[in-house]
C-alpha cells in the first residue's frame, strides 16, 4: 500500500529544492537565449523605426552693465527695473510669439530639408550640399515633400507627385496667407540649372550650392514648406528656466530631431534678444545724437554771424581802451547769460516735449532730457520707458495680429505719458522761478553797463552774444561726444555663459536603453515563468538529493552522459570519465560480493522503472568493464518483450534465450561472440507470446546453471520493473541488482514502487545507479532509447521505436561542455 509521502506532489510542497530549481533554470539556457534574441530584435525594430530626439541647451547671464562713461549728464539708457525684472522680461520675451516669429523668419526654419530613410523622412538640415533661397512674396507648395534629384553638379530635377489632385495649397510667407493653385494630375517633373530661378505657380525659389558641398551628383533630397504659425508654435515650446542657485542665470533647452537645427535656433534666439536689448539701450544715444546734429547746424550759423559782427565792430577801434574797466561786469553778464540759456533750454525742451506728447503717437525718436541739461530722474526714466514701449510696439506691427496686445501697449504708454506730463508741469513751475531770479540779476548788471560809454556798451553787447553762442556750441559738441562715447561703449546686459553646441550625445529618445532593458527583462522573465511552471509540474529525478529523499536504497554509482555514437562507451573510450564511473561501480560490486562471501560466478541483474532510462546501456558497459578485466562475461538479453541488446554488437537477434527456453537450441548455439575479448552475448531471440511464463520455467533455471559453469560474470538485462513483473521473477537468480535511474527521465513516484518491492523482499541486494547525470544539461534524453510496453501511466513511449539521435543544439552543447 502506498502512503502520501510516496507522491511527489506532497514531497515538492514540503521540501522545495531551490538548488535544483536554479540548476533547472540554467539547463534551459537555449530558451532564454531564443527569447532574448526575439525580444531584443523587437526592441531594435521599434527603436530604428522611431526618429531620434535630441536635446540641446545654452545658458546666459543677465547683468546690470553700468557703462563706465555714464555720469549724471550722460545717463542716456533706460534701466529695465533691476536684474530681477530683466530676467523675467528676458524669459517672457524668449517665449513670446513675436520674438519667435522673428527668429523663425530669420532662420527660415519653416523650410524642412529631408532625406528619405528606410522607414521615414529624416531631417538633414545642415547636412545637405545645397540651400534654398525662396521668394517670400510668391507662393510655395504647402506641406508636400518636393524631391530634388541632382543629375550632375550643375543640374537637378524637381519632382512632385500630385497623384489625382488638381488643386494644391500654397503659402505666401510675406503676406501670411494661403491660396489654392490649380495643377495637372500626375507627377510633375522638370529640370533646372543650379542657381536658376524656379518660377512656377506653386513653387518660387533658387537652389544654391554650399561651399565645399562634397560629392552630391545623383543624390536625392526633399524640401518641405511648413505652416509658419505652426512652426513658430513648435519653437515657442522652448524651455526657459532660472537657475535655482543664481537668479540672474537663465538656461534654455530645446528638443528636436536635428541637433544642428537646435543649436542654430538656440544661439540665434539669444543673439536676436541681445541685439534687441542693446538697440534699446542705444536708442537714447541715437536720438540725442540726431537732435544735437540738427541743433549744431543752426548754432554753427549763429556763431559765425556773431563772430563776423564782433570782427566788424573791432575794425579801426582801440579794443583795449574800450574793454578797460568793463572786464569784470562783462564776465559776470556772460555767466548770467549761460545760466539763463541753460534754464531756457530746459523750458524749451519741456514745452517741446509737452507738445510732442500731446500731438504725436510715435515716441521712439525723443531725444534724451540730458541733452537739455535736465537731470530729473523721474523725467529721464519715464522718457526712456516711453521710447522703449514705442519701439516695441512698432516692432510688433510686422507680426502681431492681436488688437488686444496693441491695446495693452497703448494703455501702458498712455499711463506713462500722463505721469510724464505731470512731471513736466512740476519741473516747469520750479524752473520758471529760477528764470525770474536770473533775469533780475541780468537786469541789475545791465543797469550798471548803461553808465559806460556807448561804444563800450556796444562792444560788451556783441561780446556777450558771441560768448553765449560759443558756449552753447561747445556744450552741444561736448554732449554729442558724450553720446558717441556712450553708444560706442554700451554692451548688452545679456551674455552667453555657454552657447549651444553639438559636442556629441544629447540623445533623449526614443529611450533605446529603456527598450533594451525592457527587452532584457521580458527575455528573462517570460522563459523564467515557463521554466518555473515546468519545474513545479516536473516530477522527474534530477540528482542524488532527490534519490536520497525518496528512498533508503543506497546509490552505488553515478554515470554521466555518453559522448559516443554507440552504447559501447567503455570499450570505445576506456580512459574516459564515463568508463571510470563504470569501473567504480565494478569496485563497489566486488566489495558487496566479498561482504556476502560469494564465490564462483556472480550474477548481476539490471532493471529500471520504465524504458529510456539507459538500462541496456548500463548492462553493456558493466559487462564490458568485467570483460576488460579478463573475466569471462556474458550479457543475457532477458527483455523478451522488446529486445534491444544486439544492435550495438552488430549481431542478429534470430536466435536467443527464447529458443533455449522452448527447447529449440542449446547454450552453445545461442551464445554469440563479440568483438570485445572475454565478452559474449545471448540475445532475447524472437518475441514470444508468453514471456513471463518462459522466465519462470525450469528451463530458465537450467540455463542459469549452465551459464554458471561457463562464465565468471552473468549480466542480466531485464525488462523495466515499473511496467512488468519479468524482472521480479529473475531476482531469485541474482547476487546483486542494479536499479537504473536516469536524470530527468525517471519519475519520483516510481521510486515509491521500488521501495515497496524492496520492502517486501521481491528485490534484494539492490543498489541504485544514477544514469545520464549532467549538472549543466537540460536533463533530457541523450542515449537514444525509447522503450515502452504500453502498460500503465509510465509507459513513456516504451512500445515506440528507438529515439532520435541528438539534435544539433545538443551536439554543440555537448562539445562545449566536453571542452570545459
In the 3-class helix/strand/coil scheme, how is 238-268 assigned residue by residue?
A: CEEEECCCCCCEEEEEEEECCHHHHHHHHHH
Average pLDDT over every residue of 575-602: 90
Locate the domains of the chain by residue range. Answer: 4-50+510-537, 83-275, 279-498, 544-819
Positive or negative: CA dihedral 172, 173, 177, 180: positive
Residue 816 reports pLDDT greater than 60:
no
* DSSP conformation letters of 118-174: SSSEEE-TTTSSEEEEE-TTS-EEBS--EEEEESSSSEEEEEEE-TT-SEEEEEETT
CB 758 within 8 A of CB 553: yes
pLDDT of residue 557: 92
CA dihedral 592, 594, 599, 602 (to 10 degrees): 20
Beta bridge partners of 766: 737
Which stretch of 55-64, 453-462, 789-798 has the lowest confidence by average pLDDT? Answer: 789-798
- Cα–chain-centroid distance for residue 217? 34
What is the model's pLDDT at position 451? 57
Report residue 304 CA to chain centroid gap: 77
Distance CA 341, CA 472 (A): 8
For CA atoms 460, 461, 463, 468, give the dihedral sign.
positive
pLDDT above 70 coverage of the chain, percent: 79
Q: Report pLDDT digits (tens) over 291-304.
A: 777 777 776 777 77
pLDDT of 774 over the 90 cut: no
Lowest mean pLDDT among 349-358, 589-598, 628-637, 701-710: 349-358
The model's confidence at residue 364, banded by pLDDT at 50, 70 and 90, is: low
Q: In this structure, are residues 235 and 101 in contact, taking their beta carbons and an 8 Å threshold?
A: no
Residue count of the chain, please give it.
Answer: 820
367 phi, psi to nearest 5 deg: -75, 160
Runs of H (alpha helix) within 552-614: 569-572, 577-595
| pLDDT at residue 504 greater than cutoff 60 | yes
User: Given this model, what pLDDT does residue 667 score?
Assistant: 92
Closest CA to 210 of 108, 131, 126, 111: 131
Which residue did the predictor score with more confidence, 511 or 699? 699
Instruction: Report the alpha-carbon distance of residue 565 to residue 806 in Å, rounded.
Output: 10
Write down the pLDDT at residue 191. 95
Q: Which of 747, 693, 696, 759 lies closest to 720 in space, CA to CA?
A: 747
Confidence band for 17, pLDDT divided at 50, 70 and 90: low
Q: Is pLDDT above 80 for 592?
A: yes
DSSP 747: B
* pLDDT tens digits along 664-714: 999 999 999 999 999 999 999 998 988 888 888 899 999 999 999 999 999
Phi, psi torsion values for 723, nearest 5 degrees? -110, -45
Angle, vertex CA 766, rays to CA 699 and CA 696, nearest 5: 15
pLDDT of 643 higher than 70: yes
Assess whether the previous peptide bond of 587 is cis (omega < 30° from 0): no
**Mean pLDDT in residue range 369-378:** 72
How far are the Cα atoms of 105, 162, 220, 546 from residue 141, in angstroms, in the given order? 17, 11, 19, 78
Selection from 150-164, 442-456, 770-784 with the highest mean pLDDT: 150-164
Q: Decide if pLDDT at 290 tops 70.
A: yes
Contact between residue 372 and residue 348 where contact means Cβ atoms under 8 Å apart: yes
DSSP SS3 for 207: strand
CA torsion sign for 459, 464, 465, 466 is positive
Looking at the DSSP assignment, which residues form a beta bridge with residue 53? 509
On the question of pLDDT at 75 being above 70, the answer is no
Are the C-beta atoms of residues 553 and 752 closer than 8 Å to each other? Answer: no
Sheet containing 187-193: which strands, arranged edge to edge? 121-123, 111-116, 220-225, 146-150, 155-161, 187-193
pLDDT number for residue 321: 44
Give 228 or 358, the one with higher predicted confidence: 228
d(Cα 438, Cα 425) in Å, to the nearest integer?
Answer: 20
Provide the b/e sequence for 394-413 (b: ≥16 CB within 10 Å). Answer: ebbeebbeeeeeeeeeeeeb
- CATH superfamily ID and name for 544-819: P-loop containing nucleotide triphosphate hydrolases (3.40.50.300)
pLDDT, tens only, 389-411: 776 776 665 555 556 666 777 78
pLDDT for 729: 85
355 has a pLDDT exceeding 60: yes
3-class DSSP state of 315: coil
Amino acid at each position: 500500500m502506498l502512503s502520501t509521502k510516496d507522491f511527489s506532489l506532497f514531497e515538492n510542497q514540503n521540501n522545495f529544492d531551490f538548488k535544483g530549481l536554479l540548476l533547472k533554470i540554467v539547463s534551459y539556457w537555449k530558451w532564454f537565449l531564443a527569447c532574448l534574441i526575439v525580444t531584443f530584435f523587437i526592441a531594435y525594430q521599434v527603436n530604428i523605426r522611431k526618429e531620434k530626439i535630441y536635446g540641446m541647451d545654452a545658458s546666459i547671464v543677465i547683468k546690470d552693465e553700468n557703462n563706465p562713461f555714464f555720469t549724471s549728464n550722460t545717463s542716456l539708457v533706460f534701466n529695465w527695473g533691476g536684474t530681477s525684472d530683466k530676467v523675467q522680461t528676458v524669459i517672457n520675451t524668449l517665449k513670446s510669439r513675436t520674438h519667435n516669429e522673428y527668429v523663425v523668419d530669420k532662420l527660415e526654419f519653416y523650410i524642412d530639408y529631408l532625406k528619405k530613410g528606410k522607414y521615414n523622412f529624416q531631417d538633414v538640415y545642415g547636412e545637405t550640399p545645397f540651400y534654398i533661397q525662396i521668394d517670400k512674396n510668391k507662393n510655395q507648395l504647402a506641406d508636400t515633400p518636393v524631391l530634388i534629384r541632382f543629375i550632375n553638379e550643375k543640374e537637378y530635377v524637381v519632382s512632385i507627385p500630385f497623384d489625382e489632385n488638381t488643386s494644391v495649397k500654397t503659402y505666401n510667407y510675406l503676406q501670411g496667407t494661403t491660396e489654392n493653385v490649380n495643377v495637372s494630375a500626375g507627377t510633375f517633373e522638370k529640370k533646372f540649372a543650379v542657381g536658376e530661378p524656379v518660377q512656377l505657380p506653386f513653387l518660387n525659389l533658387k537652389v544654391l550650392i554650399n561651399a565645399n558641398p562634397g560629392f552630391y551628383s545623383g543624390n536625392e533630397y526633399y524640401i518641405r514648406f511648413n505652416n509658419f504659425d505652426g512652426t513658430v508654435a513648435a519653437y515657442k515650446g522652448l524651455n526657459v528656466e532660472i537657475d535655482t542657485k543664481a537668479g540672474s542665470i537663465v538656461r534654455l533647452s530645446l528638443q528636436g530631431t536635428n541637433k544642428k537645427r537646435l543649436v542654430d535656433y538656440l544661439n540665434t534666439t539669444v543673439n536676436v534678444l541681445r541685439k534687441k536689448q542693446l538697440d534699446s539701450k542705444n536708442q537714447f544715444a541715437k536720438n540725442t545724437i540726431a537732435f544735437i546734429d540738427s541743433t549744431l547746424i543752426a548754432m554753427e550759423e549763429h556763431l559765425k554771424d556773431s563772430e563776423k559782427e564782433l570782427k566788424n565792430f573791432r575794425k579801426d577801434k582801440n579794443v583795449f581802451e574800450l574793454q578797460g574797466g568793463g572786464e569784470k561786469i562783462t564776465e559776470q553778464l556772460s555767466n548770467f547769460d549761460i545760466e539763463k540759456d541753460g534754464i531756457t533750454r530746459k523750458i524749451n525742451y519741456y514745452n517741446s516735449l509737452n507738445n510732442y506728447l500731446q500731438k504725436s503717437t510715435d515716441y521712439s525718436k525723443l531725444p534724451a532730457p540730458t541733452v537739455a541739461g535736465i537731470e530729473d530722474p523721474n523725467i529721464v526714466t519715464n522718457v526712456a520707458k516711453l521710447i522703449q514701449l514705442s519701439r516695441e510696439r512698432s516692432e510688433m506691427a510686422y507680426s502681431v495680429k492681436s488688437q488686444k496686445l496693441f491695446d495693452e501697449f497703448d494703455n501702458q504708454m498712455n499711463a506713462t505719458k500722463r505721469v510724464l506730463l505731470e512731471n513736466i508741469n512740476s519741473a516747469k513751475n520750479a524752473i520758471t522761478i529760477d528764470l525770474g531770479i536770473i533775469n533780475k540779476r541780468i537786469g541789475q548788471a545791465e543797469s550798471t553797463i548803461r553808465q559806460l560809454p556807448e561804444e563800450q556798451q556796444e562792444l560788451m553787447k556783441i561780446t556777450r552774444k558771441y560768448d553765449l553762442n560759443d558756449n552753447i556750441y561747445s556744450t552741444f559738441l561736448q554732449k554729442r561726444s558724450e553720446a558717441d562715447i556712450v553708444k560706442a561703449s554700451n554692451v548688452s546686459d545679456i551674455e552667453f555663459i555657454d552657447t549651444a553646441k553639438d559636442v556629441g550625445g544629447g540623445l533623449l529618445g526614443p529611450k533605446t536603453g529603456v527598450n533594451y532593458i525592457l527587452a532584457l527583462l521580458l527575455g528573462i522573465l517570460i522563459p523564467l515563468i515557463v521554466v518555473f511552471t515546468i519545474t513545479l509540474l516536473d516530477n522527474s529525478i534530477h540528482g542524488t538529493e532527490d534519490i536520497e529523499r525518496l528512498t533508503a536504497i543506497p546509490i552505488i554509482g553515478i554515470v554521466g552522459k555518453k559522448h559516443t555514437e554507440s552504447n559501447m562507451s567503455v570499450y570505445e573510450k576506456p580512459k574516459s570519465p564515463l568508463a571510470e564511473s563504470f569501473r567504480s561501480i565494478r569496485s563497489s560490486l566486488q566489495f558487496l560480493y566479498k561482504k556476502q562471501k560469494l564465490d564462483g560466478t556472480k550474477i548481476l541483474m539490471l532493471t529500471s522503472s520504465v524504458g529510456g532510462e539507459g538500462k541496456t546501456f548500463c548492462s553493456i558497459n558493466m559487462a564490458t568493464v568485467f570483460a576488460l578485466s579478463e573475466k569471462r562475461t556474458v550479457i543475457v538479453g532477458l527483455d523478451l518483450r522488446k529486445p534491444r541488446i544486439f544492435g550495438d554488437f552488430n549481431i542478429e537477434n534470430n536466435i536467443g534465450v527464447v529458443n533455449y527456453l522452448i527447447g529449440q537450441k542449446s547454450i552453445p548455439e545461442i551464445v554469440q561472440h563479440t568483438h570485445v575479448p572475454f565478452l559474449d552475448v545471448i540475445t532475447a531471440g524472437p518475441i514470444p507470446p508468453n514471456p513471463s511464463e518462459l522466465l519462470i520455467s525450469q528451463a530458465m533455471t537450467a540455463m542459469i546453471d549452465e551459464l554458471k559453469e561457463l562464465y565468471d560474470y552473468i549480466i542480466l538485462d531485464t525488462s523495466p520493473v515499473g511496467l512488468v513483473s519479468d524482472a521480479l521473477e529473475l531476482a531469485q537468480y541474482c547476487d546483486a541488482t542494479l536499479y537504473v535511474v536516469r536524470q530527468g527521465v525517471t519519475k519520483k513516484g516510481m521510486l515509491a514502487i521500488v521501495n515497496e518491492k524492496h520492502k517486501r523482499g521481491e528485490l534484494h541486494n539492490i543498489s541504485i545507479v544514477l544514469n545520464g547525470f549532467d549538472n549543466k544539461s537540460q536533463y533530457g534524453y541523450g542515449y537514444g532509447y525509447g522503450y515502452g510496453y504500453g502498460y500503465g501511466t509510465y509507459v513513456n513511449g516504451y512500445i515506440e521505436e528507438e529515439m532520435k539521435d541528438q539534435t544539433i543544439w545538443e551536439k554543440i552543447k555537448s562539445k562545449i561542455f566536453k571542452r570545459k
